[in-house]
A and B are shown apart, each in its own frame.
Chain A
């Protein structure tokens, strides 16, 4: 029911039923206004549940929002804003919320005590996966994901400030005002739709005017300060090192086009002031979970802030003075207060309604909505008709963020609560209710004082002025669980009750962590925000220890659940990693080449032609281009590093196993690079362009790694070397031109014709390419007469088109990764398939390349006995007339295919159109001594068994005459 008829109402649906609500109010308020008490089913026993709170701590009222792919499960109805057309549904109930079959669990609950599942479902063994687990899984879980791609937009952002104020209640507003007035850059963040915190729900005065007016004035002042940024609907979710905070913003105006649903903020603050307030805690009494039983402060929020009355005859049950506020406010609003039950004998309270002191609620009735409660009072019992019970077990300061760096809160006996331990988070101070200071006057004063301290610490000159407000002390006598029989719920979300915790203690799960893990207390979506303290008080009682001695579990981020989409915003689809495109990308795509990932790059797999139906046909043709005419391939993705300086050659001698200081200007040499652990890191060619100028190439995959490695050597290991390295990978578009016609093709684009005399094998230098200054390297990764020609990237696409067009005239054309791979396998050149991080120079037959004349990275470690043992698996070639597979294992011909018998494995395979047979590279124990032998290749996964002949890995043109000629 609403106290007054609102003006602008919109319509939304709950389980298909059309409901009127006020835009911006929480869905929970609209449901209550429409008399809807039953909104959810509990996790384990499927008990009927209603709205319990008016904030982010809500335990019961979790709903699903939206339909189809947009459906979002487990949304708290208490923080979900009403908007036109919003579709809200209940969850975890079948066939309907009202008649839920799984409620049978509640009937058999005596057999489902904490941890029962550890003790059964063990026989027969195979039934776990087949029967028990599927049944348990189907019963478990709250809401459901749609299983479809999330269609909504999310965002991430960074923000920076001097002072981050977390929470905008009285303490937070005062802190922001004080710091802002002093000139600090302030961000004030609050999870509510409006700032003011507790003041929005209380009937109090500040400076002689209603608190809510004071809030509006404060907000106006903050908005007028350019150095203050207000962030509403923004929950600070985690505290991280060096003043970094995570925060989740629910962007206003859900589902507007282009607008993100949520934004995950990374806020960096020099200082933070935590003003997170406090959460009211429930009392454990039998059947305290019926729809209609709510937190006392939540009842005030619905009445005072949202103008909604949650019941017609409300009862209040508390152990502290604060509970009586609810009774007073209800009476003032003209709502019937059926009874006020205060567990304290000595409570001094008055009101125009029945008050029972020294009394307790011992029973409740009403399955789908509270109908009555039973009170124990003066040795007797009394039943009271009521449809709403407001309970208050006292307040828990919201200390969570102060524990995110493993800090432990401190127990304060006088308020029976944990408060933050100072300095738990470097740079963070606390003020107000989260600090255990519950009165408005104390909150305002602390907020101002703490902010002044913080501002002064930043070198500013703050002034402190504190408005007048209510400072009436808050008194409480702890009551955690009402004595007697019946199930008294503590963790409403995970259906943990007092007996579960006692059972845990009985079975020696006495550590608070064991109790939590055994009973699942505090592990539900609310992470025990309201229930943990009650639970550990019950545990302390059961184990005969005090609460401080029992200790708490650790609060960990995030403070409220954070959607994966928000924290992973931008990565859906291609956004996970940058895409890198070569200059020839468009031209390759225009030739219908499938583009495949090579690290972050895209490279053409092959260039299909009319009539070709299988990649192998294209590949064979492209291999033929290179072997018989000329092929063109974009090799720009290989790393290129410019190395200059007086010690450039010394640097290369140190990072390569072989000598580079002896390399002549205008020549290229192959180099092998080790990690310091003695294994091969990368290989490539390095060209000497001048006396003190080299350009190194790396493999595509290792380009970044090698660059960092060189900087490491120069800055850390050998800062005595005067040399500079810079990547020129992107500067040059580089193309391999390979095949018998390579020189002829090249001469069609070069400004001056070349021949073998001027440009022999392994020569390099500068050339004019169609009027553009370029570079030419006579190197070959195919074993053919070949060059790599480079031009500044702006001309890359143009040169690629020119070269491929000319190649086609000569009976050749472009070739892709597939052909490139076949060409290099035929020649026994290794790539990352062979250099997989575990191979040594010895393994690939390059032990000779480790120069004895100098030290180099990895040389000492490579000399360890295990790295050059003859029993190691060595690179070999394998031939067969039938197709082979990579990743197959190698065995003696008649050996059983077991681990102990495995002698090696294959790394790369191809069909060689040149040799017209199937080839493989692989590693074989003592392989170099076994050339000519026949062994067995076995691939269990693809069911391939072949006899293969072991041979030298260089299958084609072993003398290298073609490349040199």
Chain B
């Protein structure tokens, strides 16, 4: 069923009776050509692109809870392509292009809003590092503008330019950066995949991976054994547990990242603002809530809830940077489980088990990668070859030291990002 303004008006006249389920709830079949473990943003987009780009429609997405219940439904909704290291640069560039056509591709309004993102800097040294980044973005064909202090003041007049602890020297402006309605991305991909025949199976937890002679045969689930020629693991914070079912230890630690939302307010922040030195970033949702976040809580955790010191730190950063938001009130805070890799960049690769693939390690930046990750992972699963923009996301880069992608420069060891 196509969505359109006309259809919305028609249904308005007829009491909304014509709307059909956005995705079906089929029972699992005994076997599929491919199984995606994990019904989050990345898993659903993988299924969508497997069906759309590679014609693989006899596939299933297995989700232990409800779809979109993981990090795609609990993030700060930022979409950007402002990476600078080879490997990341081309991947996020590709992903942003997919975002730009997503609504038409999915016939679903995910409210992708390219309102512009500004990364602030606070010293000459930081400016130069951001210049390197901005130049890399333009080399890649993306957009970046280096703003000086007055340039920032023109578009973000509400920042504290006079008394802030770390004075604002300027910002790297990424006009195509922005936000999207996070839940809608999961629902849109689910709908698109479902329409192409993909079975989306909720409340189906994978409890084991069947492997014979080094070849994957299928999975065991709370709803029975399901056979498959190919299995993709796309489970973010739970990657360690699922990989262990295939006898793998991953270079991943799971950490909590908190996010916050205030009550609805009239428009006051029109861009995405990122205050790196204070580990703080903020935007305003279309509903009016200020959506913001900070750094991870800094201890491995699966609790999906954050601690007070980090909450306070985030509010502290908000108050020094933009003291006009002091009277906004936090309604809710939540925590997602981040699959942190040593160098802060992800993994899209084959595993030592034939037919078993893994897509993980998105750290705290997985939302914007949803389309790109699904596209590239689908390519890998369908063809057995790495998709060029994601070709550097190898599992063995830590062992060899070749192609490490440490964007922050804090080290390619755990707990430094």
The reply to whether chain A is a binding partner of chain B is yes
* B136:A902 contact, CB within 8 angstroms: yes
Q: Which residues of B contact A244 (CB under 8 A)?
A: 308
* Stretch of B50-58, B226-234, B310-318, B352-360 that contacts chain A: B310-318
* B317:A119 contact, CB within 8 angstroms: no
A240 contacts chain B at the CB level, 8 A cutoff: yes
Chain A residues 168 to 193 lying within 8 A of chain B, measured CB to CB, are none
- Out of B133, B138, B325, B401, name the residue touching A564 (CB < 8 Å): B325
Q: Interface digits, A127-168 against B, CB 8 Å rule (1 contact, 0 not)?
A: 011000100111011111111111010101000000000000
A832 contacts chain B at the CB level, 8 A cutoff: yes
Could you tell me the distance between the alpha carbons of A578 and B412 in the complex, rounded to whole angstroms? 29
Query: How near does chain A come to B177, taking the closest CB pair, in angstroms?
Result: 12
Query: How near does chain B come to A49, taking the closest CB pair, in angstroms?
Result: 15
Could you tell me the distance between the alpha carbons of A154 and B325 in the complex, rounded to whole angstroms? 13
Residue of B nearest to A577 (CB): B165
A117 contacts chain B at the CB level, 8 A cutoff: yes
* B315:A561 contact, CB within 8 angstroms: no
Chain B residues 94 to 149 lying within 8 A of chain A, measured CB to CB, are 100, 103-104, 107-115, 122-123, 125, 127-136, 138-141, 144-146
Query: How near does chain A come to B404, taking the closest CB pair, in angstroms?
Result: 7
* A564:B318 contact, CB within 8 angstroms: yes
* A677:B131 contact, CB within 8 angstroms: no
* A125:B103 contact, CB within 8 angstroms: yes
* A864:B400 contact, CB within 8 angstroms: yes
Given known A141-B287, A144-B266, A564-B318, contact A899–B401 (CB-CB < 8 A): no
Could you tell me the distance between the alpha carbons of A136 and B109 in the complex, rounded to whole angstroms? 14
Q: Which residues of A contact B23 (CB under 8 A)?
A: 508
Chain B residues 331 to 387 lying within 8 A of chain A, measured CB to CB, are 331-334, 342
Chain A residues 564 to 592 lying within 8 A of chain B, measured CB to CB, are 564-565, 567-577, 579
Report the interface size class on chain A: 35 or more
A71 contacts chain B at the CB level, 8 A cutoff: yes
A557 contacts chain B at the CB level, 8 A cutoff: yes
Q: Which residues of A contact B136 (CB under 8 A)?
A: 889, 899, 902, 905
A484 contacts chain B at the CB level, 8 A cutoff: no
Q: Which residues of A contact B33 (CB under 8 A)?
A: none
Given known A861-B401, A864-B399, A866-B404, contact A241–B265 (CB-CB < 8 A): no
Q: Which residues of B contact A942 (CB under 8 A)?
A: 131, 146
- Out of B100, B144, B202, B323, name the residue touching A150 (CB < 8 Å): B323
A867 contacts chain B at the CB level, 8 A cutoff: yes
A558 contacts chain B at the CB level, 8 A cutoff: yes
* B145:A941 contact, CB within 8 angstroms: yes
- Out of B109, B144, B268, B319, name the residue touching A117 (CB < 8 Å): B109
* A147:B158 contact, CB within 8 angstroms: yes
Residue of B nearest to A404 (CB): B305
* Stretch of B1-9, B41-49, B205-213, B242-250 that contacts chain A: B1-9
Q: Interface digits, A226-245 against B, CB 8 Å rule (1 contact, 0 not)?
A: 00000000000010110010
The CB with the most chain A CB atoms within 10 A, among B3, B113, B115, B312, is that of B312
* B263:A74 contact, CB within 8 angstroms: yes
Query: How near does chain B come to A655, taking the closest CB pair, in angstroms?
Result: 15
B413 contacts chain A at the CB level, 8 A cutoff: yes
Could you tell me the distance between the alpha carbons of A837 and B90 in the complex, rounded to whole angstroms? 22
* A576:B319 contact, CB within 8 angstroms: yes
Q: Interface digits, B383-400 against A, CB 8 Å rule (1 contact, 0 not)?
A: 000000000000001011
B330 contacts chain A at the CB level, 8 A cutoff: yes
* B327:A576 contact, CB within 8 angstroms: no
Could you tell me the distance between the alpha carbons of A144 and B268 in the complex, rounded to whole angstroms? 8
A838 contacts chain B at the CB level, 8 A cutoff: yes
Residue of A nearest to B89 (CB): A899
* B21:A508 contact, CB within 8 angstroms: yes
Q: Which residues of A contact B240 (CB under 8 A)?
A: none
* A596:B123 contact, CB within 8 angstroms: yes
Query: How near does chain A come to B195, taking the closest CB pair, in angstroms?
Result: 13
* A146:B320 contact, CB within 8 angstroms: no
A460 contacts chain B at the CB level, 8 A cutoff: no
Residue of A nearest to B23 (CB): A508
Could you tell me the distance between the alpha carbons of A832 and B410 in the complex, rounded to whole angstroms? 12
* B125:A149 contact, CB within 8 angstroms: no
- Out of B139, B181, B264, name the residue touching A140 (CB < 8 Å): B264
Query: How near does chain B come to A836, taking the closest CB pair, in angstroms?
Result: 5
Q: Interface digits, B269-287 against A, CB 8 Å rule (1 contact, 0 not)?
A: 0000000001000001011
Given known A118-B108, A140-B287, A838-B406, contact A525–B331 (CB-CB < 8 A): yes
* A142:B323 contact, CB within 8 angstroms: no
Given known A113-B11, A240-B308, A887-B134, contact A865–B401 (CB-CB < 8 A): yes
Given known A119-B3, A150-B324, contact A905–B135 (CB-CB < 8 A): yes
A121 contacts chain B at the CB level, 8 A cutoff: yes
Q: Which residues of A contact B265 (CB under 8 A)?
A: 73-74, 141-145
* A145:B328 contact, CB within 8 angstroms: yes
A-B pairs with beta carbons under 8 Å apart, 25 shown: A108-B12, A119-B108, A119-B109, A121-B5, A133-B113, A141-B265, A149-B323, A406-B303, A509-B22, A511-B66, A527-B331, A556-B305, A561-B262, A567-B330, A571-B165, A572-B319, A575-B165, A677-B342, A678-B401, A861-B401, A888-B132, A898-B140, A899-B141, A907-B132, A941-B135
| Given A119-B3, A527-B331, A597-B167, 8 other A-B residues pairs in contact with their CB atoms under 8 A | A118-B181, A120-B4, A143-B263, A514-B66, A556-B334, A568-B316, A832-B125, A905-B132
A contact residues vs B (CB 8 Å cutoff): 43, 71-74, 108, 110-113, 116-123, 125, 128-129, 133, 136-138, 140-150, 152, 154, 156, 238, 240-241, 244, 246, 266, 404-406, 499, 503, 506-509, 511, 513-514, 517-518, 520, 523-525, 527, 556-558, 561-565, 567-577, 579, 596-597, 675-679, 681, 832-833, 836-838, 861, 864-867, 869, 885-889, 897-899, 901-902, 905-908, 938-942
B contact residues vs A (CB 8 Å cutoff): 3-5, 7-9, 11-13, 15-16, 19-25, 65-66, 68-69, 73, 86, 89-90, 100, 103-104, 107-115, 122-123, 125, 127-136, 138-141, 144-146, 158, 160, 163-167, 181, 183-184, 187-188, 202, 262-268, 278, 284, 286-288, 303-305, 307-308, 311-312, 314-320, 323-334, 342, 397, 399-404, 406, 408-413
List of 7 A-B pairs having minimum Cβ-Cβ separation, nearest first: A887-B131, A837-B409, A141-B288, A565-B326, A866-B401, A568-B315, A864-B401
